[in-house]
A and B are shown apart, each in its own frame.
Chain A
Amino acid sequence: AQKVTQAQTEISVVEKEDVTLDCVYETRDTTYYLFWYKQPPSGELVFLIRRNSFDEQNEISGRYSWNFQKSTSSFNFTITASQVVDSAVYFCALIKAAGNKLTFGGGTRVLVKP
């Protein structure tokens, strides 16, 4: 069975602070994909990144960066110099290769105060 754990339920920061969201996963599969989605107050989930299990290279996209460590089964997400528009719920998710079901973590609510 697969499991995704986001231990932080809510994080509150002041604008321009950095914030790191933790994601720990469990799977017996050797090939899988990890995702991060953003859910703004409007409700829809917005895709942020997809990472396959063979690619442990860290990735940076603007103010967003991701740290994938297979040895610790973690796929953490950092927002640098946070902005009020970053306020949302962020979900980490996992799917096995050739799978058809995404397993989501419980989500982390990020509140960025001006």
Chain B
Amino acid sequence: DGGITQSPKYLFRKEGQNVTLSCEQNLNHDAMYWYRQDPGQGLRLIYYSQIVNDFQKGDIAEGYSVSREKKESFPLTVTSAQKNPTAFYLCASSIPRGLFTEAFFGQGTRLTVV
């Protein structure tokens, strides 16, 4: 079945550590996105990529980094520079601009700083 797989589902990080969240899709979508969701709030865009080897900052990119070496994969690294990383992270994919119909979402990764 086609879809988006995020792993792990739960992640615990010690302060000062970098962690990487995985996002893989087999929908053959060119565009991929990372969103952050805080309790009781909407989704805020961290980074997005329209094509392999290219990505752009979203609204809250500070303290995060991404790579897009393969079409299927868009990993997100939460660095120690991110002061308040505890949140729910959602990855999404879509066909690119001009053809956008909907974004498909993964099941999310819940990151907790301990």
**Chain A residues within CB distance 8 Å of chain B:** 4, 6, 9, 33, 35, 37, 42-47, 50, 91, 95, 97-102, 104-107, 109
Contact = CB atoms under 8 A, between A and B. Distances in A.
A100 B42 contact: no
B100 A99 contact: yes
Contacts of B42: 4, 6, 91, 104-107
B108 A95 contact: no
Contacts of B88: 43
A102 B107 contact: no
A45 B88 CA distance: 12
Nearest to B98: A98
Given A100-B50, A104-B42, A43 B107 contact: yes
Contacts of B35: 104
Interface string B20-57: 00000000000101010000111111001010000000
A100 B107 contact: no
Nearest to B59: A101
A6 B42 CA distance: 10
A35 B102 contact: yes
Interface residues on B, range: 20 to 34
A107 B38 CA distance: 11
A51 B98 CA distance: 15
A101 B48 contact: yes
B106 A33 contact: no
Given A100-B50, A101-B45, A44 B106 contact: yes
B101 interface: yes
B107 A99 contact: no
A10 to B, nearest CB: 9
Nearest to B106: A44
A3 to B, nearest CB: 11
B8 interface: no
